[in-house]
Structure formats: structure tokens, C-alpha cells
Structure 1
Amino acid sequence: MNTTSQPSTADRAFNLSTWLVDRHVEEGRGDVVAIRCGGESHTYRDVLDHVERVATGLRAIGVRSEERVAMVMLDSVEFIATFLGALRIGAIPLLTNPLLPGRDLGVIIADSRARVLVISHERAASLDDIRAGASEIEHVITSDGWADFTASDEDGAAYDTWIDSPGFWLCTSGTTGMPKLAMHTHGDVKATFDTYATQVLGITANDRCFSVGPMFHAYGLGNSLTFPFAAGASTILEPTRPPTPQLVADIVTTEKPTLFFCIPTFLAALTNSDLPDDTFASVRYGVSAAESLPAETFTRFLERFGVTILDGIGSTEMLHIFVSNTPDAHRPGTTGRAVPGYEARVVDPDGNDVADDEPGQLVMRGESSASGYWCRSAQSRATFEGEWTRTGDLYTRSADGFLTYLGRSDDMLRVGGEWVSPAEVEGTLIEHASVLEAAVVGERDSSDIVRPIAFVIAAPGATVDDEELTAWCRDRLAGYKRPKRYEIVTELPKTATGKIQRYKLRR
């Protein structure tokens, strides 16, 4: 007989929406600016009003607790109000990539069984394709019909959710095909704030956060919404997708963020632009995630703009960054060490810890782990093993705990009986002055032997020479690791969060 005491309902009571917004108003911070968007300011009191209006609108059309509300929305005040308004009534906001084709969005939304869709008016042209794929949608709200939707006199009070109540669903990044829906609770956000945001970033109410990564993804959601709102800080939103270096520079110089969240490929683009060297003078720390940050990109950005970039790794399944370099301990070319509050292991296929500096799969333990994938039982069992979550990333771990990324498990190449890390080869190529970006995949030759090949984007004003790169790699890489040929391209296929879709390159 199990006699372990369980926490009472009162002890479990927690609503993410009220924690992020109401408590600031109740504690006298209602006039603090929560959002800067399009040159306009919105205080926490303004945001609470928006959120309550969305809550009443959703109740008026019959949305009940734990029903899904699909969101196809660009970063905006309406995005935040919809996300928090749905959480407020105990419903489950489903965040999707608004730039996906309507047919793909229809498949995702149909998978979620959502009856309600909220969509930015800029994406309304995709509605017919979405509805063709998601026949259960009964209500569509567009951001240009906001006034009518939020005019209901229904009750805007918060629903009595618990810390482990179903909260929101996120789509996995789609680096290998159709996304899965990772299910997070109301309490998962607080776990990421208490760990990474507090203990690595040291975020305070005085910070101003600006993220190149969009809010529909786990990384951008923390950067632009949950971290600043949890701290009572300010967020800077920009709906334009994809952003350009000049647009980002204009926002940074005008809005003066103190925390700047980005991805490696865009950091490289900023470094190779003609922006003034003092563009990021207001920024106390930069953050990079989504892909591994090459040491060369870290060094170039620091030398050019004077800002230290804290590289880390997070995932949709774990919600935000769980391994990171820190202000006091950063080692370029590594992903850092486990964030306080998380535990990292590097294991072999049988789940045994590997020796220092030996490759293995990274598995993580932490309170922000998703409860599983919606209607994907086999995949849930393969990823979530008790308290541990398999990341699918291959790493080595140094004796002092620094983790170095090798690639995704299915990206590693077996060449001549030896393992090749695409990340290592890509990092070597990026060190060459003519290379802006690189992606390495395997290709079978006429003898059915896998050989590395590299897709390369030239740096601005530079010309890539195959023979130069061959000589460059000869001095730095073992023979089996060197690319056997180069494809010079103008862009690489990526997810909206900057992850390279290598499966498309393999085709």
C-alpha cells in the first residue's frame, strides 16, 4: 500500500496566465511597460485587459477547459493575448508556424482536433487550404476582427487550473518531416524561469528582451513572452518574417534591448553585414540556440560588436535551454554545462554512461519536460523514459562537464568504419574567410560507400574555391572527415527557427 502523501488541490493551484500577468498588476506594477511593438507601449494593466477580453471571447463561442485553440499568428500583442487568454480559461493553445503552407497547417490542426482557429490577418489567404485539411474547425477569428471577438460580456475570470494541468502544445521543429505535438503543463514555464532565466541569464524587471526567433517555437516563446513576463520585464516584438540584419539593427538601436536572443546563422549574417560596430551597445548578453554555435562565429561577433554570446541547447520537448555556457563559464565551440536544476548524461545505445570525451546520446532530466506527444504513443515511449528525456543529439562530455555537440543521431555519418560529426566539419569550413554557412551530409558514391559532401554559402563579397577548401580541410581534418565535393548554394533549407533540414539536402 502506497502511503506517500499527495499535495492538496490548493497546493497544486496554479494558472500560468495569472502568474505571468495578474500578479504584476496586483502587486502594484500594472503601469510597467510589458510590450513594445511597432513603436507602441502596452503596460501589464493593458495586457491584462487584452487577456481578459480574449478569455471572454473564447468562452462566448463555447470553448471549454482542455479544448484546443489553434494559433496561426505572427509575433504581436494579439498573439500574447490569445495564448494567455486561452490558458486563462484552462484551454490549450496550440502554437503553429504561421509561415507554413495552408495544407501543412491543416494537417497539424486536424491532428490536434481543434475546433477554434485564431489567425493573423496577414495569413488569412491560407484559410481555405487550412480548413480543407482541418474539417473540425467551427470558429475562425482573424486579428482584424479582434474588436468584435473581444466584445463579449462573458466572465473573464481565471479557471482553477493546477501546476500540472494541461497547458499548451508546441510543434516539434520538423527537421525530419511532419511535426509532432509536444504537450506541456502550466508549471513547465515556471520551471524554465527558475532555472535558465534566473540562474544563467539573471533576468530582472529592468531587462528588455528581443528575440530574432519567433514566439510560436519553444525558444522564442521563452525569449519574448514567458521570461520577460515572469520577471516583470519588457519584451520587444517584431512580426516581420523573415527578419533582415538591417531591420534587427534598427530595432536594437531604437529599443535598446539588454538581452538579445538569436540563432547561429543569423549571428553570422549580422557579423558579415556593414552594421556599425556599436549596434549592440545596449546588450549585456546575447543568447544562441537552435543549432550549435561555431567557435568562429562566437569570436567574430565578440570582436565585432563586443557582446558575449551564451550558446546553449534546448528543445521543444524540454521547453527551453537546459545546457548552456554562462557568463562565468563559457567555452567557445561547446554547448556549455547542464543548467542548474537539470541533469545531463551522455549514454550508449543501451543507456549506459560513456567515458569522458566518448560520443553518446544526450539524455536530460528536468521539471520542464513535456508529458508526451499527442496521440503518438510509440514515439512518446521512445523519447520519454521515466524522468529522462532522450534529446536525439550526439555529444561528448569533458571531464569538467562541458558538452560538445556532434550532430543529431540520424545526421552522423559512418565513413570507412569511423563516425563523422557534421558539426565538426561544418565548424572547420566556417573558419575559412570565404564561407558564411555550411551543411554536411552523406552521399553514397559509385561503390556504395558513404562520403561527406558539403553545401556551402559564400561570405558576402567572397568567392568559394573548391581547391582552397580542400587544402584548408587537409590541414585540419582526418582524411575520412573531409568533404569529397562541394555544392555552392545561395541558401540552405531550414526550419523557421534556423535548424538545417538535412533530410532535404540528402535528396
Structure 2
Amino acid sequence: MTNGIRHAIVDHVPDDAPGALEIGFEIPERYNASEILFDNLRAGRADKVAIYAAAGNTSYGELCVKATKAGNALKSLGLAAGDRVLLLLNDTAAYPAVFFGAIRAGFVPMLINTLSPKDLIGFYLQDSGAPVAVVEAEYAPLFDQETIAGTSLRTLIVLDGEATSESPSIKVLDGDHWFAQFPSRLEAAPTRRDDMAFWMYSSGSTGRPKGIVHLQHDMAYTAKSFGRHILGIDENDICFSVPKIFFAYGFGNSITFPFSVGASTVLLAGRPEPGAVLDAVERFKPTLFFGLPTLYNALLHHPRIESADLSSVRLCLSAAEVLSQDIFSDWKRRFGLEIVEGLGSTEVLHIYLSNTHKQKRTGTAGKRVPGYEIRLTTPEGEPVAQGQEGVMWIRGHSNAPCYWNRPDKTAQTMRDGGWIWTGDRLLEDADGFFTFVGRVDDLIKVSGQWIYPLEIELCLSEHSAVRECAVLGLELPDRRMTTKAFVILGEGHVASETLTRELQDYVKSKLLPYKYPRLIEYRSELPKTGTGKIDRQQLRSAPLDA
């Protein structure tokens, strides 16, 4: 392993940790995560459909060929083992092909949010030192001279479109034609199970995003725990995850779980509009359907929902937000399907608390997923009694060992003995069901993404029309979370729907787009405490639709 981090992450979770013993997890010392895909060839599944998509289906044999060609192409660039490869891709067959090809060749792909603005792309390049990026043609203009200045990027590989760039300092390649020239066989790099395999980035809700390092064996562990024990997935299943691959939840649903057993996956490129989601369900007949409460709510209010056919689906799953009783009941009433809710994190790679189709309690995150240890403590680290609120700690072999280049945040989150301090506050009842109470640091989830209201508040304050503002995370009647901005306008500015859209677009342009305030209320003044601070508790009592 290169880059001097292997010694810091080996044995971050003890081999004999109870979670691994519980699910019988064993993996060779020398292991490459590309085997999740390539084991399907040894199992005789070359002709089986791996990916269903509107643009055409892809068999396991075809996908492995695409992956080996991508891996050989990346090797031809002279990269060193462990070098990072930034991926900014839509959910098509190219995504798993390049992902597994990079890992098989000994490199470390980075899965990046496709909504990232230019300044974040520049940060990812600087933080990671990635010399190569593989991107869809629509995202190539983001990689201009301003973005790549001061980074190590030297090659931009463009897929599904014309390979152009405004930057003269990097080589730009037409990936579709260039990959095709390389051999279709590639032996797996001799990586070890505790070597880096891939990265994901946090949402950056409390500052710059953090590079979350995952190891070669992490995917296999989530497949053995959640895939086997919660999904009961086998090769006859077809998975359809509306959350995207770059999102840890979507990554497991779309890639890890189906490929680990030779099942199939449905990939939907572009925005997951409700109509397109229903089209994909009816066309490809998935048996496992993965969404978020926001998606289920949108589908329930779509004009086609009464005629929609979900008869192929045996299990619906939800994560990333609290699922309300209303959505659960309306979905069951319409389709006869109960939504199974869980809780996970990017640091742990997937879900570690979950309901099941047999054991469920609506509004809770469920019970501990086999393979993971859970403990609740006071903020000082002392155990709490059952029924008392506590901060959750989690341990399992899919835990990220560190944040890249962030020793301060690593020390705060990745603790001794392989535990991750989540910062989530939960309650455990007498039956072992955990209920999410909130965040220690007031982070909230909106549409499955972590948001820090203060970040939005600071951004809005920079707009010329805003004299003063406060942004809060508020709970909707159906228990989903939203963000609301209370704004005092500067002299010469008048409240209007046009100004509201302008302020929302301003935040979208400065931060990741999903961080914009969903609601804006204009006021002549904001309530203050006796010390002159904004009285946020009083604002919380204001009607949501004021």
C-alpha cells in the first residue's frame, strides 16, 4: 500500500470482534474488492443480466470486460498503486465498470456527488491528489483551468460525449473509444483486505467535506450482514435503488448486494422523477425497491400512483430520514407492501440498525443488524440504562478507519477498539428497537442528506438583499425534516415570490444545491433573547406555512 496510511488502519477493528464472529465473516489476508463482481464469472453467470437500463441491458460477462478494459486503460497512464481516481458519473453501466476496473488495477476510486459545484470539485482534487478523473461529458466543463489550478489532475477521461475541456494543462481523452482499445483480461492487483479500496465524501455540513476511506473487505462485510440477514437477497432478485450510486445507501443497494450474489440491478440515469421511477418499476420488475421517505411521499402524490403496478416487488426499504406513520400506512394501503426502515451512515458504508419484514416498529430505526455492535452512552462516554437517551457508538468490519487528511475529525469519530462515535442520539426500548432522537450537533437530514442550518444562514447573510436571518431545521407533520429561513430584508428590497426564488437559487449556487432553504418567511424583526441573541426557540414555534 502506498501513501503511508496502511499502518494507521490495519486491524482498526479486532478480527475477533463479536460482530464478525456472529455472521461468520472470514476473508483472506490477500483480497481485492473487485471479486464482488468477478466472482460471478467463476459462478458461471457470464450470460446473466447484471444491469437493466433504458439504454440497454448489460450481462455480467460484458460488465467484467468493460471493467478490465477500464482498469488496463488506467494502468497505462502510469499511476502508482493507491492513486485516486475521481468518478463523477451518472448511474449507468459505466459506473460499476470504471469503479471495479480501478480497484482491480490497484487504484482507489472516489465516488463524488454529481450535484457538486466547481469549487467543491476543486477541493476534492486538491484534498485527494487525484491525477485522473473519469466524468460524464455533461460534467466536463466543471474541470476548467480555475477548478484544476493547484491540483494534481493531469488526465480527464470523458464518457458519453465529446471529449473537450477549456484547460490546456491536462490531457482529455474520449473514454468510450479509448477504453475499448485495451485488453479484456486483467489480474487483480495484490491488495490486502485492509488496504484502501475506495472513498466517499461526507456532505460537508459542518465545513469542508471529509474523505471517508473504505477498505477492500468492507463491501463483502455489508453483503454478509445487511444483504444476507435483512434483505435475504439471492440471485433471483432484481434491485432498484432510487438513491444514486455515489450515496453510500444507493451504492450498497445498486452494486454491493446484487453483485455479491449474482442478482441484477436496475440503474436509472438522470433525475429520479416519480414518473421515471414508476416507468422503471413497471418495465424491469424489481423485487427489491429502495427509497427515502421523501420519494415514497412524492410517489404517493403522483397522478399515476393509482394505476401503478408494483406487483413484482417483495420488499420496500427506506433509510436516511424518519419514516412517518402516514407514509407507511398510505403505501401499505395502496400496494399491500410495508416499508422497512433502517439507519446507517457513510462511515459504516450501509445500514446497521433496521426493521425487518417480520420484526418492525414504524417510526423506529429498528434493531441492531447482525454483524454490528451498538452501545449508547452519555456525552462523556458513560453507558446509559435501557430506555434512556444516549449517543450511539457502532462497531463492525465495514467501519471506515479514518478521514483522509483530517486527523482531528478522525480522532473525534474513530475511537479506540474500532468504534465509531456517530453523534446520533437514540433511545433503545425493552424489545431492542432504537428510535432516532436527534443529533448532538444539531445536524438534520432533508431528503436523505445531512444539512447544517447555520451553513445556510451564513450563506444567505452574504446576499445583498438580506440584512439579518436565521435558518432552522423544523419537523413537518409527517416527521420529515425541512429547512426554514426567517429573513429581514435590507433597505430598498421588498418581499416577493421572485425574491424568494432568487435567495434559494443564490444558496444553490454557493453550496450544494440540496442545501437551499425550502421555506422562507420575511419578517420586520427577529425575536431576541435577553443577551441579544436570536431567540431560536421562539422561531421554532412559528407556523411552518407563515
TM-score normalised to structure 1 length: 0.81
Q: Is the 8 A contact 2:65 2:184 kept in 1?
A: no
Deviation string 1:352-396 (CA, Å, 9 cap, x unpaired) is: 121222222111111110011001001001101122111121111
Instruction: Indicate the residue corresponding to 2:305 in structure 1.
Output: 276
The AA in structure 2 aligned to 1:78 is A
Contact 1:60 / 1:154 at 8 angstroms: preserved in 2?
Answer: no
**For the Cα contact (< 8 Å) 2:125–2:152, is it kept in 1?**
no
What's the offset of the Cα at 1:274?
Answer: 2.1
SS at match of 1:430: coil
CA distance 1:154–1:234, shift in 2 (3 Å): closer
Match of residue 217, structure 1, among 230, 244, 247: 247
User: For residues 145 and 350 of structure 2, what CA distance do their matches in structure 1 show?
Assistant: 31
Q: Residue in 1 aligned with 2:527?
A: 445
1:353 corresponds, among 365, 383, 388, to 383
| Aligned residue in 2 for 1:286 | 316
Which residue of the partner structure matches residue 504 of structure 1? none
User: Which residue among 263, 275, 297 is the counterpart of 2:292?
Assistant: 263
Segments of 5+ residues of structure 2 without an aligned counterpart are: 1-13, 17-26, 161-173, 445-471, 488-525
Instruction: Decide which of 223, 228, 245 is 2:258's aligned counterpart.
Output: 228
What is the rounded CA distance, in whole Å, between the counterparts of 1:230 and 1:304 in structure 2? 32
Work out the number of aligned pairs and report it. Answer: 439
* Residue in structure 1 matched with residue 478 of structure 2 by the alignment: 430
* SS of match in other structure, 1:229: helix
Where do 1:367-406 residues align within 5 Å?
367-386=397-416, 387-406=418-437
Unmatched tracts of structure 1, length 5 or more: 414-421, 455-482, 490-507
**Which residue of 2 is the match for residue 202 of structure 1?**
232
CA distance in 2, matches of 1:100, 1:118: 15
Q: Call closer, same or farther: CA 1:134–1:397 in 2, change over 3 Å.
A: farther
On the 8 A contact 2:137/2:158 being kept in 1, the answer is: yes
- Residue 383 of structure 1 aligns with an amino acid whose one-letter code is T
Which residue of structure 1 aligns with residue 95 of structure 2? 79
Distance 1:342 1:130 in 2: 44
Match of 2:273 in 1: 244
Query: What does residue range 309-320 of structure 1 map to in structure 2 within 5 Å?
Result: 309-320=339-350
Task: Tell me the distance in 2 between the aligned counterparts of 1:103 and 1:173.
Answer: 14
Contact 1:35 1:234 in 2 (8 A): yes
Q: Give, in whole Å, the separation in 1 of the partners of 2:97 and 2:484.
A: 41
| Offset, 1:449 | 6.8
Counterpart residue identity of residue 276, structure 2? L
Inter-CA distance 172–200: structure 2 relative to 1 (3 Å threshold)? same
1:118 aligned residue: 134
Equivalent residue, structure 2, for 1:12: 29
Asked if 1:182 is matched to 2:182, the reply is no
Q: CA deviation at 1:133?
A: 4.8
Structure 1 residues 232, 197: CA separation in 2 closer, same or farther (over 3 Å shift)? Answer: same
Per-residue CA shift, 1:6-50, capped at 9, x if unaligned?
Answer: 99xx94121111x22222112211111001122411111001100
Q: Which residue of 1 aligns with 2:38?
A: 22
RMSD: 2.6
**1:453–1:485 CA contact under 8 A, matched in 2:** yes
Q: Percent identity?
A: 35
User: Could you say which residue in structure 1 is the equivalent of 2:76?
Assistant: 60
1:460 matched residue in structure 2 = none
**Residue 332 of structure 1 aligns with which residue?**
362
1:407 equivalenced with 2:431 (yes/no): no
Moved more, 124-133 or 350-359: 124-133
Summarize deviations over 1:403-448 as a string: whole Å, max 9, x none.
Answer: 11112212289xxxxxxxx99x726x227xxxx8645799983224
The code of the aligned residue for 1:254 comes to R
Residues 378 and 334 of structure 1: is their aligned pair in 2 closer, same or farther, counting only changes over 3 Å?
Answer: same
3-state SS of 2:442 partner: coil
- For the pair 1:149 / 2:179, whether they are aligned, the reply is yes
Q: Is the 8 A contact 2:527 2:538 kept in 1?
A: no
**3-state DSSP class of the match of 2:45?**
coil
Partner of 1:160: 190
Contact 1:105 1:130 in 2 (8 A): no
Q: 1:281, 1:451 → 2: CA distance?
A: 47
Matched residues in 1 for 2:395 and 2:15: separation? 22
**For structure 1, which segment, 289-298 or 387-396, has the greater mean C-alpha deviation from structure 2 after superposition?**
289-298
Q: 1:196 to 1:130 in 2, by over 3 A?
A: farther
Report if the CA contact (8 A) 1:442-1:452 is conserved: no
Deviation for aligned residue 1:247: 0.8
> Could you tell me which residue of structure 2 aligns to residue 465 of structure 1?
none
1:398 CA drift (Å) = 0.7
TM-score by length of 2: 0.76
Q: Which amino acid aligns with 1:87?
A: I
